[in-house]
Amino acid sequence: MSSQPESEKEKKYFVNIEGAEEPWHEDKITVPQIRELGGWDASQPVVEVNLEKNTERTLEEDDVVTLKPGHGFAKKIKFQRG
């Protein structure tokens, strides 16, 4: 039996990596995990793109991004190589 409440197990997260939605199992993701999902080289910077505000910021190596469940969030923020 899992120690997580039922509602936590049902949440699904998605990460938009250069236009492709990748499923994710946690509510947080690190820069190295984003690179791994995208199949990017470790030397490449990761850029967070806010599609609502049309802004970009380069993430630091130790940044942790908090995700919201569902596809809607994935469409508002995406990640790309710098």
Q: For the segment 26-69, what is each residue's pLDDT rounded down to a tens digit? A: 999 999 999 999 999 999 999 999 888 889 999 999 999 999 88
Q: How far apart are CA 36 and CA 38, in angstroms?
A: 5
CATH of the domain at 20: 3.10.20
Domains in the chain, number: 1
- 19 within a domain of the structure (yes/no): yes
Statement: the pTM of the whole predicted model exceeds 0.85: no
- 1 within a domain of the structure (yes/no): no
CB 38 within 8 A of CB 50: no
Write down the pLDDT at residue 43. Answer: 92
State the CB neighbour count (10 A cutoff) for residue 18: 11
Task: Pick the more confident residue, 11 or 25.
Answer: 25
CB 73 within 8 A of CB 14: yes
Domain hosting residue 72, numbered range: 6-81
